[in-house]
Chains A and B, each alone.
Chain A
Amino acid sequence: MTAPLLEVRDLSVTLARGGDELPVLDKVSFDIAPGEVLGVVGESGAGKSMAGVAIIDLLVPPLRRSGGTITLGGERLDLLTPRQMRRVRGKRIGFVFQDPMTSLNPVLTIGRQLTDTMRRHLPLSRNEARERAIAWLTRTGLPNPARVFAAAPHELSGGQRQRVVIALALCAEPDLVIADEPTTALDVSVQAHMLQLLRDLHEETGTAMMLITHDLGVIAKMADRVAVFYAGRLIETARTEMLIARPLHPYTAGLMQATPALDAAGVMRVKAIPGSMPGLGATPPGCAFHPRCNRSRDLCRQVTPPLADAGGHAAACHFPLRQEVA
């Protein structure tokens, strides 16, 4: 196996509230190999977006990184100064957020934003940057790239804006793209276009991707490997096909069964997980999932299970599901 591009070890994030430091992310560790797509899945509040934001050091108080190391291509990002970190963002790590307007400056033309980004990070002349910007807009499948180049963000549709944001994230040729719910605000017909675009560009440029989503369907189509988050912890990770065919953690299995789908007999079914994820600062002792788990025993209430690796498939569960899941 090649050396990982990104190594995250024991990453913790806390939220300060009234003198307390509430854990938002609790010692999360994962790797992303060069060119790999890691899907990060979980429900709102599970900490999946926080992991992405913590990597690019964009947490704002009361949130802060309280521990752990982040290494990108051998360099410790967590030791960089804010000024050094600015050179990492955009150049080595590109990002795509759910709402394209958070990434776009509303008063600058699309062309200006693309050329500024490229010229900041790459040694390009004004004309070269302009040519490349138009080439990027063409690659993202935007009709009439020259018109889009001169347009302001508000003149584009939501789907067109997200294409521009994807071009912005990739134009400085980063090693890693962090995409946080890139298709969630989009309609299903536009979503499939955007996933296709992300996949095509990923294959063309060979960039690695951290794809954060709540949608297991998106994970199934896009990710090489999956990391499942629950209540600020990483609770299961495996290759996508393996995780979907044979989840080890009862929460992962529950999440899949809670997604309406056809069963073997061709009948639609859905199975709810009772209860809800604990809120901030209300994480129960032991396994955070135990109050909702029908397999929990005394051990689960007392001891937090470690993420135990068994042949590339790791789950943080004392009593993982084995072959028995349908």
Chain B
Amino acid sequence: MSAGDVLILNEVSKAYDGRVSMLDRLFGRKAKSLQAVREVSFSIRKGEVMGLVGESGCGKSTIARIAAGLMAPTGGEIGHPGRLRQQMIFQDPFSSLNPRWRVHDIVAEPIRTHGLRPKQEVSARVAELLTQVGLSEADGAKFPQAFSGGQRQRISIARALAGEPDFLILDEPTSALDVSVQAQILDLLRDLQARLNLTSLFITHNLPVVRLMADRIGVVYLGELVELAPTSAIFEHPRHPYTRLLIDAAPDLDAEDRSLHPIPGELPDPSDPPSGCVFRTRCLFATDRCASERPKLRKIGPGEVRCHYDLDLTGRELVA
């Protein structure tokens, strides 16, 4: 942790207590608690894009919500040294914009709420923001339903930038979009990133997208951060078997090599996670130690990994 950190998560956990219905109580069933996030630690430096990848239900969105302060952790702490103004961009541009508000008012709201501009300058600032995200000033008079998914996501971005955030959280911002539109939004975000020196947390299940966008990547599996390293290290020298398998699992555009690389096994029940290492039930290298002892997140090379062993997984295809 250094002075340049914008956000620090220290051993953050989130557990949900299961609800017990009357019927369950009659049968004497106990509540099942669910550990959605377990002892996740990382910090984000100023000007950095930190990516979080993982499959659905792994806890990456819960981490985002905790980082955004929308949800309190049940363990550990979050710190933000200094002033922190944050904004969030969500996956679904259809539910995240109020259909009864004109675009101008949607974008103006954070400016008014935070009193960022004198009243008479708000309209000019909204026009500037709309232009910045590739829309026009005239679009401000329309309602969100007049726009396509990609354009709505531009409105969400304009609204987020209107709050002049120190820190931006993007939760699957392009997952609902078609490929050609996704590329436009990724281009826009990269451009804004470079021009405004934004600090952000970028959450996605899409590895090529996070590889394009992030400086550093955290890989999440079953509520745990299993690996954290600079983007090039994650892809060129993955240290955790899950990272390697995840990279190989997505089909690429090579039509000559048609091999598929499924990750062996199935995701365990999150309310009954394996003992020791959470990934051991699907890991080709698992030993007795992995069942009895939970690995710590430890430094290795330029990153950190939650694995007992120093595995060299470079360029290696793990075949079950």
Contacts and interface: CB of A to CB of B under 8 A. Distances in A.
Contacts of B251: 191-192, 195, 215, 217-218, 220-221
A259 B55 contact: no
A217 B266 contact: no
B263 A256 contact: no
A274 B184 contact: yes
Nearest to A194: B262
Contacts of A218: 251
A189 B150 contact: no
Query: Helix, strand, loop or mixed for chain A's interface?
Result: helix
Interface stretch (A124-132, A147-155, A172-180, A265-273): A265-273
A279 B260 CA distance: 35
A321 interface: no
B317 interface: no
A193 interface: yes
Interface stretch (B18-26, B67-75, B242-250): B242-250
Interface in B226-247: 245-246
A192 B261 contact: yes
B253 interface: yes
Contacts of A270: 183, 186-187, 212
Nearest to B55: A187
A36 to B, nearest CB: 15
A44 B262 contact: no
Given A188-B205, A192-B263, A199-B260, A273 B183 contact: yes
Given A159-B266, A195-B260, A272-B187, A261 B180 contact: no
Interface string A223-242: 00000000000000000110
A254 interface: yes
Given A217-B253, A220-B253, A276-B180, A188 B187 contact: no
Contacts of B212: 260, 268-270
A312 to B, nearest CB: 15
Interface string A190-225: 011101100100000000000000111110111000
Nearest to B258: A221
Contacts, number: 118
A312 B256 CA distance: 18
A187 B253 CA distance: 18
Interface residues of A, number: 43
A193 B262 contact: yes
Given A258-B180, A260-B208, A188 B150 contact: no
A268 B249 contact: no
B216 to A, nearest CB: 15
B305 interface: no
A196 B183 contact: no
B182 interface: yes
B110 to A, nearest CB: 27
Contacts of B256: 241
Contact of B253 (A159, A259, A271): A259
Contacts of B184: 272-274
A136 B23 CA distance: 37
A261 B178 contact: no
Contacts of B245: 189
A157 B35 CA distance: 19
A41 B56 CA distance: 25
Contacts of A193: 262-263
A280 interface: no
Contacts of A188: 55, 205, 207, 246, 249-250
B254 A192 contact: no
A255 interface: yes
A189 B263 contact: yes
Interface of A: 43-44, 157, 159, 187-189, 191-193, 195-196, 199, 214-218, 220-222, 240-241, 244-245, 254-261, 268-274, 276-277, 279
Interface of B: 55-56, 148, 150-151, 178-184, 186-187, 205-209, 211-212, 245-246, 249-256, 258, 260-263, 266-267
12 contacts: A43-B181, A191-B250, A214-B179, A215-B251, A244-B255, A258-B179, A259-B208, A260-B186, A268-B212, A269-B212, A270-B187, A276-B181
Given A187-B56, A220-B253, 14 more contacts: A188-B55, A189-B262, A191-B251, A217-B252, A221-B258, A244-B255, A258-B183, A259-B183, A260-B186, A260-B206, A261-B252, A270-B187, A272-B180, A274-B184
